[in-house]
Structure 1
Amino acid sequence: MRSTVPLAALAASAMVFILTGCGGASSDDKLSYEDSPLSQYLSAAWGGDLSPEEQQKKMEEQQTKVEDLVAQCMADEGFEYTPNTDTGTVVSDGGEWEPEKREWVEKYGYGFVNSPFSEQLEENPSEQESSDPNADYVTSLSESEQAAFYETLYGATPAEDELAEDGSYEYRWEDAGCQGWAQHEIQGDDPSQSEEFSALRTKMEELMTTMQDSPELADLNAEWASCMADKGEPGFTKQSEAGESIMEEQNKIYDEVYGDGSEPVDTEAADFEDPSEGPEMKALGERELELAVIDLECREKTSFATKSLEIQFALEEKFIAENKAELEAFKAAAEQSK
């Protein structure tokens, strides 16, 4: 059976789907996406009950244990492997992301072209540097040995007939090489992906659709769209479309240079031009700021953040009442798996 989206991911999406491009409620509003009624059941699966510091510590400790087991597994298969304890991930409290504040929006827009995270990396270049401790060893291997190394480490690449139409495939730790085995040894079975809760996953997916198609949200989007048109930005029907329009244009600029990824691009060539530094991207960045400010003004005028959360939370409360026993069972299983 093909794996569906994990419950944790569905829950996180459910809490912010309405606010794509605008984030949670502002400090002046009564509600925040953190007040989601579903979060009390599902936060156990994604660590939402831990502080950013606790999440970071837990992630680093697990990474160390996993990598030690990976090294053991690779050695058993005849390969050298140096544990890589650099996760490359930093858990944040979200302080860098404040798209409901005018000062932030005037500086970053939606955070796509003008990203606060890119700015952080420029200020702290050491954060960008993460070297693979196994790079020299892999380079010393023949081409066939390298292929065997990576297949042992990550498992064989799925065959074409194993892929879904969208390119996804069913993940099984048993097929994911030493990494899959080691992660399963440390983290155990993921209750959000287990067969026991497949029916609950399906219901969560249906909840997402119900939220997006709700008449109340349609009315709110129409009110926001009318405001946008009055301010010289017609053509949008949903609040999320504003930020998506910038992302789509950004992707087009990158696609013109990098294509679909099937052909390598020599970024070291003398005639290579970084699309992120080109005039088209600069113009798009200016457009992003302009559109995002107008979007923010219309969200504020329509109280979009608070009203959309009210719609979402009402649907969540109804969902909880109809599925309380399954949610309680999932919460218990998630807490026990920690």
Structure 2
Amino acid sequence: MRRTTPLALAFSAVLAVALAACSGSADTAAPKPEDSPLNKYMMAVWGGDLSTDEQQARYDKENKAREQLVAECMAEEGFEYIPNTQSGAVVMASGDEWSPEDREWVAQYGYGNVNFPGRDTPMTDDQVYVDPNEDYVTSLSPSEQAAFYETLNGPQPSAEELDEDGSFEYDWEQAGCYGLAQHEVEEQNPAQSDEFAPLMKSLEEFWTETQESTAFADLDAKWSSCMADAGYPGYDKQSDAQMQFGEELNAYYEDQTEWVEDDPELAELGEKEIEIALADLDCREKTDYRAGYTKVQYALEEEFIADHKAELDALKAAAEQGR
């Protein structure tokens, strides 16, 4: 398994791109995640059908269990470890704070990469990360610290194990106590079990094939022509606009050796993002991209469901029973 986005996140990301791509004018309601035929199953698996408080409680419970397992593993290896119950997973409330289909919102934030709601809001004391193991680790010698982190996270991959892009094959058995703990917690989710492994593999292949499908070709061609007329040529698919800007933003961050407050270069990127996002929104509205994409996407999902309905029903039932 290559260290890339987990399927849970990949599914959410693909669906988010699809629904954002489908967005139209502000007076036309954008599809909601629960509108997707396939997502009616997957929301039960990943907790998308839970309330914000219920999702947060679920993440906190998983984090507590994982950290306790890490502490037990580290103790067996001769190290002290205080479980870090300050979960890094924070469920964001859905609502008006994130409205990438609203023209006023897009005019302020673009796609929400450089600037986004709450970006300049100072963190409260309970949001500031505090490592409960910092004092213990600093009390160790350099060699002991190295042994501590290798026991916790596993050895660093060698140059031979790294791909050109810096990724490497992830093996939880080689990822230290944290890898072991994460594996045990994930096993509680039926989507990670051996029973549903074939279905999850089919799902992953389905989303990959969907993104590469020619079913959206005519729709994307109309959108691409509109973008070219607006002064933004070179985008073959609607998803290219945001993806390519994201790559440009990543390149900016990779070049930074230190954080520059109010960097003019980043501000310029933010302005560019808004310009592209507004043109993208205009062209989606002009080509009725939302309705067209939704029709094709949901038809493909219905085909997948028809071929895997028994497995999907069983997965949904197992996920709901395990709560």
Larger displacement relative to structure 2 (110-119 or 195-204): 195-204
Three-state SS of the structure 2 residue aligned to 1:116 is coil
Equivalent residue number for residue 109 of structure 2: 108
1:26-53 Cα offsets, whole Å, 9 max, x none, are 6623733331111232223211121111
Q: Give yes or no for contact 1:112–1:246 (8 Å, CA) kept in 2.
A: no
Deviates more, 1:158-167 or 1:37-46: 158-167
Q: CA RMSD in A?
A: 3.0
Look up the match of 1:144: 143
Picking from 258, 261, 264, the partner of 1:279 is 264
Query: C-alpha distance in 1, partners of 2:185/2:197?
Result: 23
Counterpart Cα distance in 2 of 1:81 and 1:188: 23
Task: Please state if 1:305 is matched with 2:290.
Answer: yes
Q: Secondary structure at 2:255's aligned position in 1?
A: helix
- Give the 5 Å matches for 1:1-338: 7-19=7-19, 28-29=28-29, 31-95=31-95, 96-119=97-120, 122-124=121-123, 126=125, 129-158=128-157, 167-172=167-172, 174-184=173-183, 188-258=187-257, 267=258, 274-275=259-260, 277-338=262-323
Residues 103, 275 of structure 1: alpha-carbon distance in 2 compared, 3 angstrom cutoff: same
Higher mean C-alpha deviation, range 90-99 or range 72-81: 72-81
* Shift of residue 72, structure 1, vs aligned partner: 3.4
TM-score (norm 1): 0.82
**Structure 1 alignment gaps of length 5 or more:** 259-266, 268-273
- Counterpart Cα distance in 2 of 1:127 and 1:21: 36
| Aligned-residue identity in percent | 50
- 8 Å CA contact 1:71–1:83 kept in 2: the answer is yes
In the superposition, relative to structure 1, how do residues 184 and 27 fare at CA in structure 2: closer, same or farther (>3 Å)? farther
Provide the rounded CA distance (Å) in 1 between the counterparts of 2:129 and 2:22: 32
Q: Does 189-198 or 248-257 show the bigger shift?
A: 189-198
Letter in 2 for 1:82: I
Unaligned ranges ≥5, structure 2: none
Secondary structure, aligned partner of 2:94: coil
* More divergent stretch after superposition (127-136 vs 311-320): 127-136
Secondary structure of the corresponding residue to residue 196 of structure 1? coil
SS in 2 for 1:257: coil
Q: Letter of the 1:64 partner, please give it.
A: K
| Structure 2 equivalent of residue 271 of structure 1 | none
